Structure 1
Amino acid sequence: MPYLTSAVLGAALLCFAFLGLRARRADGPLDDYVTARNSQGAQSLGLSFLASGMGAWILFAPPEIGAFVGPVGLAGYAIGSALPLVILVRYGPAIRRHLPAGRSIGEFAEACYGAGVRRWVSLISILYMACFLAAELTAIGSITALLSDVPPALVVFGVAVTTLIYTAVGGLRASLATDRWQAWLLLGLLLLVTVVALDRLPTMPADASLPSVPLGSALSVALTLVIAVTAANLFHQGYWQRVWSARDDRALGLGAWLGSAITVVVVAVVGVLGMLAAMSGLALGEPPIPFFALLAEAPGWLALPALVLAVSLVVSSVDSLQNGIATLVVAGSGRRGLSITAARWVTVALMVPVVIVALQGHSVLRLFLIADLLCASIVVPVLLGIWSRMSALAAVAGGMAGMFGAILPGWVAGGSLPAGILAASFPDSIPTLAPFLVALLASTLVSLLIAWCRPAPQALSNANK
């Protein structure tokens, strides 16, 4: 069986590599390598938004939220997963007009605030995506150990190397090409796994009820997830690249709506599976993994398509993240401009520490929570860049206030700065509202206050005309 599983996974990875390499433009300029500018229609974008945003995390987090928090918490997760795309529907066309030759969130920050803020924002985005990469590779290692006898490190290396090959050579076009196939594959495999798992679901006890917690706690979890997931995904460079890869504003809008709608459905479906597992009285494991508890009651052969589903989810997110990180580094090089060859080597080099971290087996959820909180601390000051009164001072001060706000609740509760920093790193891997909410409010209020009191010079000159 390990040989069959290895062969199937190897074949899937080879297919993805073939599709990505076939889509490359050997003679394309660097700009095409990192943006595939004005080339994608609505359907292609919608499937790409879905594939690049999804990952193995959907097999862990939404089912657990569904099993222990219930429908309210799950609704928060689904909304938070789709909301960044809805924001792109609203602001994407304005970003394209404001920065028609743009390539990254870093360049957007530079256009609004200057080179210093660009470097700061690019660093935060790279740190977030590196955490995302490490979490995804950690997750596929854990899933491999759960569902097969294949060495987890082998699959981690296989995914990292395969995606590196076609993203380093083909750039964003390679990622977009594989996204379309991966999106359909993950939808088909998720449907298969869901139908078979539900068919073998144990009979529910007569007194079974929906998992729930007190409404206040459920709303707290839901709001935490909306803030965390939305803020983090707005620093997902893969989303920003697709803003400029859209053929026009209409394609961007329709594609983002399509991606957000399917994302809500996918997160809801896997979350409901978690609820059903809990209601059926299945042993959810320690730590709890409701989705895989369902698979324990399913036929043994279902483990293989479930593993292929997990690999497809990881590959679809990893290739977008790899190309996104390379794009940020390229765009961050300013007028000097890196060559395509240098961009490829940057992609390869950045994966080395990520794979090392992934092989340590850290908590997937904790890695995401730390990255999410970092993004929530500065997301509002960055997006306020489209407001004419915002200045670099207001943005930086707001971001610093957000980071201070993130550790403030833990500092107050624990009585010391180290306690606040520890609490903001979520040692128990449990999402809590206070750090996210205080970080968001502090960054917003400080940014608005300074922008109002000391507006940007161009805002003053416009006001005097």
Structure 2
Amino acid sequence: MGSGILFSYPQLATLAGLQGVIVYAVASAAPILIFAVLTPIIRRKCPEGFVLTEWTRQRYGLVTALYLSALTLLTLFLYMVAELSAIGQVVTALTGLDGLPIVIVEAVVTTIYTSLGGFKISFLTDNIQGAMIVGLIILATITVGVKTEIKPELIESSGLLKSSLVGWQLIYILPVAILTNYFFLANFWLRAFASKTDKDLWIGISISTVFITIVLTLVGVAGLVAAWSGAWPGDPPQDGSIAFFLLLEQLPNWVVGIVLVMAVALSTAAFDSLQSAMVSTASNDLFRNRLNIWFVRGLVVLIIFPVAVIALKAPGILQIYLISDLLSAATIPVLIFGLSDRFYWWRGFEVVVGGLGGILTVFIFGAIYYDSPQKGGELILLQEGLYTGDWGAFGAFVAAPVGGVIWGGIALVGRLGFQYAQAKINGTRFDALDRPLSASIVSEDRDAINPSDTQDEIASAKSTGKFF
């Protein structure tokens, strides 16, 4: 969790009310459980892997792995932009000062200690920052409860306890968007693969799911309290994204200081994790760990400069997340077919065509729905956000996965047809649907974290992943 949650969750509360708060919190936390389900499966199939792209390379081949790596690096880049943008806006909102200095300091400090300590130091700082956040959230919650005066007449007039069209749409949009997007977060996969055993993985993820649900619910409810206390929308009316900070203006300065510390801790915990994930992904996927790690870290340092520049001019935090969500919603459904041995005939060609086709389907849907090709292109970037009051955003998140699967199916039929015709012309046997000799490495009754398979089995399994 980064400091962006202080903007996006209260904003949703002001637009979709209590229904939106609950849906957003659960939809953000529950999908983390997918790592407990899938990590053991992937570790059995790819014991030496530590990020999703390593399994993708083994299962689908080099081209698909590079395609997924590009999307993963893009997602990490967007998340880094969102995080620096958010912390800059937090500082400005809480203190009235320019957020640029804190953006620079955070980028420099996290880069230094992440470069020196790598993943381990990021893991260590997460625990320290997590402990700080627990204490700070408790203090802030109690203070808001004691100091804030709720006006009963505003509760009814706000309508935030009633269901809404946006609230019902979010029940579908958010789980799809967040669940698929988590697949691109290499910092999550690094932590999942670092577990000692499958049991430890389940314990850790279960704890985090409960904790994150509580924290996000509290942050989202701050938007409701801001509305019911009269702090939001204010005079003149302010955007719902700053509802949390309008609420804080009514509280003592020491509470504002506590929240500022909490926001910095949240931000650095998220940002250093994204940096270590980008280093790991780039080193493993692009250079196959043959390039000195310091060169890779140097490249990531160079990337920080455009990240900071874009962060200062970035649009809304939620829109940045939504762009990456739509990419993942188109790609992940066609990718995960390969986790099942029943789909041994599914290849990387289908994954790439399906992923790109899903985005194309969003454009086609938008162009038809809005009767404008330009609006179709804007829908890919979700420039209007989630809260337009129409079915555009909902349709986009339906079109992306469904279109991806349809285009993947078309690619499958086209590939098989081409290979069948090629076999007939060459007078060879059509073998495109032959089952690989080894579709899985580790039996289901072994612990996925510490398998004991031979190198011959691993080498055999590596040969099964092909693009065509």
State which of 180, 194, 197 in structure 2 corresponds to 1:245: 194
Paired position in structure 2 for 1:294 = 247
AA aligned to 1:259 is S
Distance in 1 (alpha carbons) for counterparts of 2:249 and 2:398:
38
Larger radius of gyration: 2
Paired position in structure 2 for 1:330 = 283
Paired position in structure 1 for 2:138 = 191
Distance in 1 (alpha carbons) for counterparts of 2:414 and 2:22:
39
1:110 positional shift: 0.9
Deviations 1:326-369 (A, max 9, x none): 11111113546221212221221221110110122432122111
Paired position in structure 1 for 2:176 = 227
Paired position in structure 1 for 2:449 = none
Is the contact made by 1:323 and 1:347 (CA closer than 8 Å) also made in structure 2? Answer: no
SS in 2 for 1:211: coil
Paired position in structure 2 for 1:275 = 224
Paired position in structure 2 for 1:443 = 404
* Structure 1, unaligned runs of 5 or more: 1-53
- Counterparts of 1:402-441 in structure 2, within 5 Å, are 402-430=358-386, 432-441=393-402
Distance in 2 (alpha carbons) for counterparts of 1:215 and 1:302:
33
Paired position in structure 2 for 1:316 = 269
1:152 positional shift: 1.0
Distance in 1 (alpha carbons) for counterparts of 2:189 and 2:32:
10
SS in 1 for 2:199: helix
1:312 positional shift: 0.8
- Counterparts of 1:28-427 in structure 2, within 5 Å, are 54-206=1-153, 208-209=155-156, 211-212=160-161, 214-284=163-233, 286-288=238-240, 289-335=242-288, 337-387=290-340, 388-427=344-383
TM-score by length of 2: 0.82
State which of 434, 444, 450 in structure 2 corresponds to 1:460: 434
Distance in 2 (alpha carbons) for counterparts of 1:448 and 1:186:
46
Is the contact made by 1:381 and 1:444 (CA closer than 8 Å) also made in structure 2? Answer: yes
Is the contact made by 1:125 and 1:235 (CA closer than 8 Å) also made in structure 2? Answer: yes
1:104 positional shift: 2.0
Distance in 1 (alpha carbons) for counterparts of 2:87 and 2:397:
28
SS in 2 for 1:208: helix
Identity rate, percent: 27
**Using a 3 Å threshold, how does the CA distance of structure 1 residues 188 and 175 change in structure 2: closer, same or farther?**
same
Distance in 1 (alpha carbons) for counterparts of 2:193 and 2:96:
43
SS in 1 for 2:215: helix
* Structure 2, unaligned runs of 5 or more: 388-392, 420-430, 438-468
1:162 positional shift: 0.7
**Using a 3 Å threshold, how does the CA distance of structure 1 residues 76 and 441 change in structure 2: closer, same or farther?**
farther
Distance in 2 (alpha carbons) for counterparts of 1:444 and 1:88:
22
Distance in 1 (alpha carbons) for counterparts of 2:81 and 2:93:
18
Is the contact made by 1:377 and 1:406 (CA closer than 8 Å) also made in structure 2? Answer: no
Count residues in correspondence: 410
**Using a 3 Å threshold, how does the CA distance of structure 1 residues 267 and 448 change in structure 2: closer, same or farther?**
farther
Is the contact made by 2:232 and 2:247 (CA closer than 8 Å) also made in structure 1? Answer: no
